[in-house]
Amino acid sequence: MESFTKVHLDDQQLRALAASTFGTDTAIISSKELTGGFFNTAYDLELSDGRSVILKVAPAGETETLSYEKDIMRAEVEALRLVLAAGKVPVPAVYGFDESLRLIPSPFFFMEKVGGDPYNEVKDNLPEEVRVSIEREVGQYQRLINGIKGERFGLFGQSPDTPTKTWRETFTAMIHSVLDDGQRLGAVLPASCDEIRRGLEGFLPALEEVTEPRLIHWDLWNGNIFVKDGAIVSIIDWERALWGDVLMEYYFRHFENSPAFFEGYGATFDNPNEQLRIKLYDLYLDLILVIECYSRQYKDENHIRWAFENLQETLKAFVGNDTIKI
């Protein structure tokens, strides 16, 4: 999708970035800008040394973004390196990361190009038994990701000097930050930010049950799962990784309903406390999906309406049915 946050590079800039990572003896044979992402810019490059690589470029520093999106490229690189070192989940290797802003006014990194296709692009053409197998595998990998323990709650790229907080304190700050972004950007929401904050209060005590920080991918939707020959070959886009509650993961959201995922994950989450937390995390994601339409200046009216209507439905659990319509 076309987004205001994307940075477009010319051939000279691409050559300079490649030379900084791979050396001046390595040339770019071909380049293609990828259009599937919503935030960063990505290029598919063929190099003269025979490698195929992906270049990801973050928005420039002056670009309007949501507060939680600050420094998320560094978060992605750190998360990729951590998961790759653990050796249990297939992720692309990182070849080089540069946030000096010396060559271009944006952080960038090069990573291995993975094989296969995004699962969302091929899912509908796969036999049911293959889809079941893949989604069971998603659950297995999700459990492995969530098995990595952290020392603090919060966004992955957050400074290690950040004061230690409980999960309740951390998530409350996260969702309030998104609401603050909505007010700053003049976002039209189905209810006022003050109404939403008041509606949250009865749900927040449920967060106190979460006491152990776990690695959360958070953006593990089907577009970030690459499959080949009926199996997962790589999991990408770790920029929104955080240390938090496993129930924040995408396959627990109301968008998905995959028994095979839960079979692979090996656990169900249906007690009252877990259901309250699920509703909170649904709200958090649905708020972001609406408010980022304003920072990224999306033009797709169908997407804007879809995001608003999702949030409108989710908000019924928090502020009742007296919400405005778009």
94 shares a domain with 36? yes
Q: Is 231 helix (H, G, I), strand (E, B) or coil?
A: strand
Q: Would you say residue 3 has pLDDT above 70?
A: no
200 shares a domain with 274? yes
Residue 163, pLDDT score: 75
- CA–CA gap between residue 323 and residue 233 (Å, rounded): 43
Over residues 267-304, the pLDDT tens digits come to 999 999 999 999 999 999 999 999 999 998 888 999 99
Residue 325, pLDDT score: 46
162 shares a domain with 224? yes
Residue 115, pLDDT score: 94
Burial class (CB in 10 A: 0-12, 13-18, 19+), 149: exposed
152 shares a domain with 257? yes
Residue 164, pLDDT score: 77
Confidence of residue 323 (pLDDT cuts 50, 70, 90): very low
Residue 128, pLDDT score: 98
Q: Would you say residue 137 has pLDDT above 90?
A: yes
Per-residue tokens: 79: 């998360």
Q: Would you say residue 33 has pLDDT above 60?
A: yes
245 shares a domain with 227? yes
62 shares a domain with 162? no
104 shares a domain with 137? no
Which contiguous run of DSSP H or E holds residue 184? helix 167-185
38 shares a domain with 134? no
Q: Would you say residue 324 has pLDDT above 50?
A: no
Q: Would you say residue 180 has pLDDT above 60?
A: yes
Averaged over 310-323, what is the pLDDT? 84
Using alpha carbons, list the distances in angstroms from residue 322 to 185, 290, 312: 23, 18, 10
Give the domain-ending residue among 89, 112, 135: 112
Q: Is 117 helix (H, G, I), strand (E, B) or coil?
A: strand
157 shares a domain with 67? no
Give the domain-ending residue among 85, 112, 139: 112
DSSP string, 257-322: --HHHHHHHT----SHHHHHHHHHHHHHHHHHHHHHHHHTT---HHHHHHHHHHHHHHTHHHH-S-
271 shares a domain with 301? yes
Over residues 44-83, the pLDDT tens digits come to 999 999 999 999 999 877 778 899 988 889 999 999 999 9
Q: Is 77 helix (H, G, I), strand (E, B) or coil?
A: helix
181 domain residue, yes or no: yes
Over residues 218-239, the pLDDT tens digits come to 999 999 999 999 999 999 999 9
Number of domains in the chain: 2
End-to-end CA distance of the chain: 22
Q: Which domain holds residue 52?
A: 11-112
- Percent of the chain exceeding pLDDT 90 equals 85
215 domain residue, yes or no: yes
121 shares a domain with 63? no
245 shares a domain with 123? yes
Residue 71, pLDDT score: 85
What's the CATH number where 253 sits? 3.90.1200.10
